[in-house]
Amino acid sequence: MRLSDASAVGDATVALDRGLLTRGDRVQLLRLMEMMRAAEERGLALYKQGKVPGSFYDGRGEEAISVGAAFALGPRDRLCILHRDLGAHFVRGVTPDRYLANYMGRAGGVTGGKDGNMHFGDRALGCVGMVSMLPDMAPVANGIALAFKMRGEPRVALTFFGEGSTANGQWHEAMNFAGIHRLPVVFVLENNRFAYSTPNQLEFAVDPVERASGYGFPGVGVDGNDVEAVFTATAAAAERAREGGGPTLIGCETMRMHGHGAHDDMSYVPAALREEWERRDPIDGYAARLVAELGFEESEVSDVRAEVRSYVAECAERALASPPPEPEVAGEGVFAERWQPLGDGAAPWSRWAETGADGARRAA
Partner 1 sequence: MAELTYLEAISDALRTEMRRDDSVFCLGEDIGAFGGAFKVTAGLAEEFGADRVLDAPLAENAIIGAATGAAIEGMRPVCEMQFADFVACGFDQLVNVAAKLHYRQGVAVPMVVRLPSGGGFSGGPFHSQNPEAWFLQAPGLKVLAPATAADAKGLLASAIRDPNPVCFLEHKGLYRHVRGEVPEGEYTVPIGKARVAREGAELTVVAYGSAVHLALAAAEQLGEEIEVLDLRSLCPLDREAILASARKTGKVLIAHEATRACGAGAEVAALIGEEAFEDLDAPIRRLTAPDVPIPFSPPLEQAVLPQLEQMKEACRELLAY
Q: Where does this chain bind partner 1 (CB under 8 A)?
A: 78, 110-111, 114-115, 119-121, 123, 128-129, 131-133, 136-148, 150, 157, 169-170, 173-174, 176-177, 180, 333-342
User: CB-wise, 114 or 274, nearer to partner 1?
Assistant: 114
Residue 246 CB, shortest distance to partner 1, in Å, is 15
Peptide bond before residue 135 is cis, with ω within 30 degrees of 0: yes
> Taking CA 174 as the corner, what is the angle to CA 170 and CA 175, rounded to the nearest 5 degrees?
120
C-alpha span between 241 and 255 (Å, rounded): 28
Residue 182 CB, shortest distance to partner 1, in Å, is 13
How deeply is 309 buried, as exposed, middle or buried, from its count of CB atoms within 10 A (0-12, 13-18, 19+)? middle
User: CB-wise, 62 or 136, nearer to partner 1?
Assistant: 136
Strands (E), the chain: 2-3, 78-81, 127-129, 157-162, 185-191, 194-195, 198-199, 219-223, 248-253
Residue 170 CB, shortest distance to partner 1, in Å, is 5
Residue 77 CB, shortest distance to partner 1, in Å, is 11
User: CB-wise, 111 or 200, nearer to partner 1?
Assistant: 111
C-alpha span between 187 and 287 (Å, rounded): 27
> Which whole-number Å values give the CA distances from 153 to 128, 174, 184, 236, 271, in the listed order?
19, 21, 10, 18, 49
User: CB-wise, 109 or 224, nearer to partner 1?
Assistant: 109
User: CB-wise, 24 or 333, nearer to partner 1?
Assistant: 333
Cα pseudo-dihedral 113, 144, 138, 63, rounded to 10: -60
* Helix (H) or strand (E) segment spanning residue 180: helix 169-181
Residue 146 CB, shortest distance to partner 1, in Å, is 5
Residue 157 CB, shortest distance to partner 1, in Å, is 7
User: CB-wise, 114 or 309, nearer to partner 1?
Assistant: 114
